[in-house]
C-alpha cells in the first residue's frame, strides 16, 4: 500500500507515511524486501515517479527538499558537491548507490560532509559475469548477425561457409581486472571451454590462480589436456596473447580509455573484446574504427562511453553485439541490490556501524528482524570514522 504525493512538483509514491526518517529513492526498485527493511527501520520512503529516465541535479534537489535523512540513488546520477551539499543541508546522514560501481559518486565530497556512501557488492558478481560470457559467445559465434539474417528471410539452406565464427575451446581468455566479477567470468570460461587464462590486475588473485591450478590437475587426472593460468606484468601482454579479452576493472583515472587505438592494434585480428565494466574504459571511437578496418575482430558491449548514446558507426557494425547495460539485470541480483542499498541507508540513518564483509548473504536471507545491525557496505567508512564491525 502506498499513497501518491508531490514533492516540490515531483510526483512520488509514499510508503510507510508515519516513518520518522525520510528516505528518498530516485527510481522504482524491484522486489519488496528493500521496502520492508526501510519500514522496519522507521523510515518513510518516497519513491520518485518523475518520468525522466535520468534525473538531473535540479530534480534530485527538489526530491531532497528541506528534510531528508537518506537517499538511494542511481549510477546515472551525478553525485558530487551539489547533491551532497543539498543532502547535508536537509540533515541527511546516508547515501547509497544502487550499484557496486560508484564512479558516478565523488566520494570525497560526501566524506567532506561526513555522509556515508554505500554500494551493493556481492550480488552482481555471477549475473554480470554471465552477461560477459553471453556476449563472448554471441560475438565469437556471430549469434546476433545470424539471428537477424534469419528474421530478414535470407536463409535459403545450410551451407559450409555460413556464419563461420571462432571456437573458444582450448584458446586463451584474457581478463583485465581479476576482482569479483573478473574471477567469476574467468572460471566460467576456463571450466566451460577449457580455456587458458592470462590476466592483468595490479593485485594478484591467488585464490583464482589456485582454483584454476586445481581444476587443471583434475583435467590431467581425467586424461584431458590441462589449462594454464598466468598473471601478466602489463595489459599489453594480455592483449597480445588472448583470443578473448574481457574488461572487469573499475573505472578510474587509470582505466579511462585503457583500451585505445594503440592497444587495439596489439590484439589479434580476430580477437573478441568484451566490456561489461564501464563504457569509458574503451575509447569507443577508436574501437569503431578498428572494427571497421578489421571485420574479423568482434566485440560484445554492455556499456558505452557516453550512455545512452553510442559512438557514430557502432550500431552499423555487424561484428559488434550491443546490449543496453543489462549485465546485472536478473531478478535475484536487482532485488538483492535493492536490499543492500536499503540496508545501507536504514543502518546509516539510525547511526549503526558498517558491516563491510565479503559475505553479505545474511542480508538476503535472514528474517528482517534479525539482519546484522550494520550497513552492508560503506565505501568511505574509515574516512568518516564510522565504526566497522
Ligand atoms: N555492466 C554492469 O552492469 C556492471 C555490473 C556490475 C559491475 N560493473 C563494473 O564492474 C566493475 C568490477 O566489479 P567487481 O565487483 O568485480 O569489482 P572488484 O573491485 O572486485 O574488481 C575490480 C578489479 O579491478 C582491478 N583493477 C583496478 N585498476 C585496474 C587496472 N588499472 N587494470 C587492471 N585491473 C584493475 C582491481 O584491482 C580489482 O581486482 C565495477 O567497478 C563496475 O564498474 C558493471
The grid coordinates listed for 355 are 558491516
Per-residue model confidence as pLDDT tens digits over 84-137: 999 999 999 999 999 999 999 999 999 999 999 999 999 999 999 999 999 999
Domains assigned to the chain: 5-99+330-370 (3.40.50.720), 126-322 (3.40.50.720)
pLDDT band for 368, please (50, 70, 90 cuts). very high
pTM score:
0.92
Task: List residues with catalytic annotation.
Answer: 278, 307, 325
Which of 76, 98, 100, 325 gets mutated to test ligand 1 (max ligand atoms within 8 A of its CB)? 100
What average pLDDT does this structure show over 369-387? 97
Question: In the chain, where do the E strands start and end?
Answer: 3-7, 10-15, 21-25, 43-48, 70-73, 94-97, 117-118, 172-176, 196-200, 229-231, 244-247, 272-275, 298-301, 320-322
- What percent of the chain clears pLDDT 90, i.e. is strictly above it? 98
Spatial neighbors of 167 by CB under 8 A, at least 6 apart, are: 140
Ligand 1 atom 1 nearest Cα: 276
The answer, yes or no, to whether residue 263 has pLDDT greater than 90, is: yes
Q: Is 237 helix (H, G, I), strand (E, B) or coil?
A: helix
Contact 97, 119 (CB under 8 A): yes
Q: How far is the CA of 111 from the centre of ligand 1 (A)?
A: 22
Looking from the CA of 31 toward its CB, the CA atoms found within 13 Å total 21
Per-residue model confidence as pLDDT tens digits over 338-350: 999 999 999 999 9
The confidence score (pLDDT) of residue 348 equals 98
The confidence score (pLDDT) of residue 344 equals 98
Per-residue model confidence as pLDDT tens digits over 3-34: 999 999 999 999 999 999 999 999 999 999 99
- What percent of the chain clears pLDDT 70, i.e. is strictly above it? 100
Q: Measure the CA–CA gap between 178 and 204, rounded to whole angstroms.
A: 8
Phi/psi at 20 (5° precision): -75, -30
CA torsion sign for 192, 193, 198, 199 is negative
β partners of residue 7: 10
Q: Measure the CA–CA gap between 278 and 198, rounded to whole angstroms.
A: 21
The confidence score (pLDDT) of residue 162 equals 97
Which of 207, 249, 329 gets mutated to test ligand 1 (max ligand atoms within 8 A of its CB)? 249
What average pLDDT does this structure show over 310-333? 97
- Which residues surround ligand 1 with Cβ inside 6 Å? 100-101, 121, 124, 128, 176-182, 200-203, 248-251, 254-255, 276-278, 302-303, 325, 327-328
Mean pLDDT of the chain: 97
What average pLDDT does this structure show over 328-341? 96
Q: How far is the CA of 177 from the centre of ligand 1 (A)?
A: 6
Closest CA to 255 of 180, 291, 202: 202
Phi/psi at 235 (5° precision): -65, -40
Q: How many other CB atoms are found less than 10 A from the CB of residue 330?
A: 17
Q: How far is the CA of 185 from the centre of ligand 1 (A)?
A: 12
Q: How far is the CA of 124 from the centre of ligand 1 (A)?
A: 11
Spatial neighbors of 53 by CB under 8 A, at least 6 apart, are: 76
What average pLDDT does this structure show over 78-84? 98
Q: Measure the CA–CA gap between 190 and 169, rounded to whole angstroms.
A: 9
Q: How far is the CA of 281 from the centre of ligand 1 (A)?
A: 11
Contact 235, 264 (CB under 8 A): no
HEC per residue, 148-202: HHHHCCCCCCCCCCCCCCCCCCCCEEEEECCCHHHHHHHHHHHHHHCCEEEEECC
What average pLDDT does this structure show over 215-238? 98
Contact 205, 199 (CB under 8 A): yes
Per-residue model confidence as pLDDT tens digits over 34-60: 999 999 999 999 999 999 999 999 999
Ligand 1 atom 41 nearest Cα: 250
Q: Measure the CA–CA gap between 125 and 115, rounded to whole angstroms.
A: 27
pLDDT band for 261, please (50, 70, 90 cuts). very high
Percent helix, strand and coil across the chain, each to the nearest 5? 35, 15, 45
Per-residue model confidence as pLDDT tens digits over 186-212: 999 999 999 999 999 999 999 999 999
pLDDT band for 1, please (50, 70, 90 cuts). confident
Amino acid at each position: 500500500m502506498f499513497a501518491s504525493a508531490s514533492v516540490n512538483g515531483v510526483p512520488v509514491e509514499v510508503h510507510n507515511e508515519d516513518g520518522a526518517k525520510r528516505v528518498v529513492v530516485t527510481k522504482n526498485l524491484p522486489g519488496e524486501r528493500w521496502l520492508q527493511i526501510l519500514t522496519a527501520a522507521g523510515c518513510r520512503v518516497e519513491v520518485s515517479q518523475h518520468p525522466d529516465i535520468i534525473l538531473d541535479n535540479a530534480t534530485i534537489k527538489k526530491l531532497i527538499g528541506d528534510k531528508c535523512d537518506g537517499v538511494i540513488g542511481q549510477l546515472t546520477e551525478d553525485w558530487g558537491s551539489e547533491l551532497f551539499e543539498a543532502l547535508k543541508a536537509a540533515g541527511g546522514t546516508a547515501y547509497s548507490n544502487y550499484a557496486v560501481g560508484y564512479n558516478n559518486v565523488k566520494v570525497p565530497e560526501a566524506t567532506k560532509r561526513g555522509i556515508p556512501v554505500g554500494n551493493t557488492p556481492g550480488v552482481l558478481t555471477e549475473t554480470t559475469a554471465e552477461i560477459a560470457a553471453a556476449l563472448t559467445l554471441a560475438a565469437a559465434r556471430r549469434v546476433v548477425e545470424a539471428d537477424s539474417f534469419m528474421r530478414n528471410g535470407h536463409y535459403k539452406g545450410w551451407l559450409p561457409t555460413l556464419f563461420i565464427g571462432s571456437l573458444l575451446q582450448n584458446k586463451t581468455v584474457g581478463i583485465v581486472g581479476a576482482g569479483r566479477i573478473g574471477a567469476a567470468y574467468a572460471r566460467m570460461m576456463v571450466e566451460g571451454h577449457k580455456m587458458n587464462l592470462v590476466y592483468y590486475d595490479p593485485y594478484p588473485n591467488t585464490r583464482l590462480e589456485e582454483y584454476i591450478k586445481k581444476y587443471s590437475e583434475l583435467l590431467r587426472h581425467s586424461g584431458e589436456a590441462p589449462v594454464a593460468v598466468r598473471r601478466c606484468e602489463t595489459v599489453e601482454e594480455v592483449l597480445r596473447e588472448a583470443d578473448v579479452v574481457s574488461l572487469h576493472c573499475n573505472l578510474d583515472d587509470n582505466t579511462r580509455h585503457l583500451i585505445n587505438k594503440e592497444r587495439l592494434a596489439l590484439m589479434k585480428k580476430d580477437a573478441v573484446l568484451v566490456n561489461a565494466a564501464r563504457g569509458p574504459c574503451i575509447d569507443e571511437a577508436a574501437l569503431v574504427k578498428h572494427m571497421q578496418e578489421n571485420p574479423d575482430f568482434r566485440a560484445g558491449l554492455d556499456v558505452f562511453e557516453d550512455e545512452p548514446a553510442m559512438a557514430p558507426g557502432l550500431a552499423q557494425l555487424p561484428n559488434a553485439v550491443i546490449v543496453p547495460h543489462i549485465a546485472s539485470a536478473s531478478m535475484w541480483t536487482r532485488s538483492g541490490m535493492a536490499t543492500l542499498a536499503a540496508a545501507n541507508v536504514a543502518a546509516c540513518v539510525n547511526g549503526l556501524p558498517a558491516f563491510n564483509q565479503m559475505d553479505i548473504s545474511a542480508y538476503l536471507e535472514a528474517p528482517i528482524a534479525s539482519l546484522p545491525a550494520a550497513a552492508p557496505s560503506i565505501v568511505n567508512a574509515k574516512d568518516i570514522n564510522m565504526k566497522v564491525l
